[in-house]
């Protein structure tokens, strides 16, 4: 408990792996992640049985699957936390290449499961959404390129990362998956800004995003339908947004009671994209505020630790992962309360979904590995290394 309050003690060389890991890991963030997973199981018990009943499956079919995927995600997360930043970078680059190829092949081999967007590979017993695994890998690759560009005679890493993110967004827009596109663009923008990009360049990039959104609105019925539904002042009570907003309104501060909510019987995605509506209806604003506080704690503590980090790659990659994690949660909850257009994005570590949970475990494992306490050395030594002395 003392270490959780006052901070971990930097590891000494020669320490055993597990004691060194325990002293250097951010225990508050780990605790918040485990609590979020527990809340996800609790909400899954409320939200998924109606869907299982409609599909003729066992009452707790989706909860059992969420437990299996969640345990796999936690094991993956803890495995990554024990790796060195160099090992995380190598695996991140390899995973990015595999995920990017998988995303490129989606128009040929993928399926849409009747949702109007080809985002998944069907394996029969399960499905895989490669864009979920693309995100952490892209952050690592982009941070590596940007960090390399700051070295003496380094490559034009920032320009290369800009070209890479453009290619990725183009392939995601073909699915179409504008939510993941916006998330990846945001993460890249945060890293690009921290790497020293001029603000005018970022403003220009934001202008290009607006132009791209305008083009998508006029050329994609899927995108236009969601934007029109968001801009319409009258919410159709028989749509997912209508059910979600009504459930949040009915929940009040303390909720209608465990198991008493009705939105789970109407929303087909109550256990995934709109899980926060189930939380708000049955447990009220109180649980929603707890969930927001848990996400905020992870993101803020990650940034506070990364501020002290002197390794450029670690600082950029960790910041990109933390920003994307927090913004994904913000987008999911913003859609449910109609502050944002519908995106089809899960609530990290709370919503049901195998790809989302395992990819989230990878991303959070990387983030925890990057934010582990490590000896930093003297600042003048860092400057000397950069100047080649």
Three-state DSSP string of the chain = CHHHHHCCCCCCCCCCHHHHHHHHCCHHHHHHHHHHHHHHHHHHHHHHHHHHHHCCCCCCHHHHHHHHHHHHHHHHHHHHHCCCHHHHHHHHHHHHHHHHHHHHCHHHHCECCCCCCCCEEECCCCEECHHHHHHHHHHHHHHHHHHHHCCCCCCCHHHHHHHHHHHHHHHHHCCCCHHHHHHHHHHHHHHHHHCCCCHHHHHHHHHHHHHHHHHHHHHCHHHHHHHHHHHCCCCCCCCHHHHHHHHHHHHCCCCCCCCCCCHHHCCCCCCCCCHHHHHHHHHHHHHHHHHHHHHHHHHHHHHHHHHCCCCHHHHHHHHHHHHHHHHHHHHHHHHHCCCCCCCCCCCCCCCCCHHHHHHHHHHHHHHHHHCCCCCCCCHHHHHHHHCCC
pLDDT tens column, 313-366: 999 999 999 999 999 999 999 888 888 877 778 899 999 888 999 999 999 999
The pLDDT of residue 136 is above 90:
yes
> What pLDDT is stored for residue 387 in this prediction?
52
> What pLDDT is stored for residue 350 in this prediction?
92
pTM of the model: 0.87
Between residues 182 and 32, the one the model is more confident about: 32
The pLDDT of residue 304 is above 90:
yes
């Amino acid at each position: 408990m003392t270490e959780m309050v006052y901070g971990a003690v930097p590891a000494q060389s020669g320490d055993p792996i597990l004691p060194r890991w325990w002293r250097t890991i951010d225990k508050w963030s780990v605790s918040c992640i485990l609590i979020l997973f527990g809340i996800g199981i609790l909400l899954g018990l409320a939200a998924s049985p109606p869907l299982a009943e409609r599909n003729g499956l066992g009452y707790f079919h989706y909860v059992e699957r969420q437990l299996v995927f969640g345990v796999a995600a936690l094991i993956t997360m803890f495995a990554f936390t024990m790796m060195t930043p160099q090992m995380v970078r190598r695996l991140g680059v390899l995973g990015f290449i595999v995920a990017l190829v998988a995303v490129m092949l989606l128009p040929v081999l993928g399926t849409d499961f009747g949702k109007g967007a080809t985002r998944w590979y069907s394996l029969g017993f399960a499905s895989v959404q490669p864009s979920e695994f693309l995100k952490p890998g892209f952050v690592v690759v982009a941070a590596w390129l940007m960090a390399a560009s700051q070295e003496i005679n380094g490559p034009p890493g920032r320009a290369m990362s800009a070209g890479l993110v453009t290619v990725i967004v183009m392939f995601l827009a073909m699915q179409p998956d504008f939510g993941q596109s916006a998330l990846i663009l945001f993460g890249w923008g945060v890293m690009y800004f921290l790497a020293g990009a001029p603000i005018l360049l970022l403003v220009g990039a934001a202008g290009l995003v607006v132009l791209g959104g305008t083009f998508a609105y006029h050329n994609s019925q899927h995108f236009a339908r969601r934007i029109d539904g968001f801009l319409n002042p009258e919410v159709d009570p028989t749509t997912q947004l209508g059910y979600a907003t009504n459930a949040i309104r009915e929940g009040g501060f303390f909720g209608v009671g465990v198991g008493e909510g009705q939105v789970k019987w109407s929303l087909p995605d109550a256990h995934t994209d709109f899980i926060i509506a189930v939380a708000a209806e049955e447990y009220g604003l109180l649980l929603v505020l707890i969930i927001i506080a848990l996400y905020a704690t992870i993101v803020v503590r990650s940034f506070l630790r990364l501020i002290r980090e002197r390794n450029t790659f670690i600082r950029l990659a960790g910041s990109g992962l933390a920003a994307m994690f927090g913004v994904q949660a913000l987008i999911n909850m913003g859609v449910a309360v109609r502050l944002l257009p519908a995106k089809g994005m899960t609530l990290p570590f709370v919503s049901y979904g195998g790809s989302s949970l395992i990819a989230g475990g990878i991303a959070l494992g990387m983030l925890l590995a990057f934010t582990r306490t490590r000896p930093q050395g003297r600042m003048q030594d860092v400057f000397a290394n950069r100047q080649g002395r």
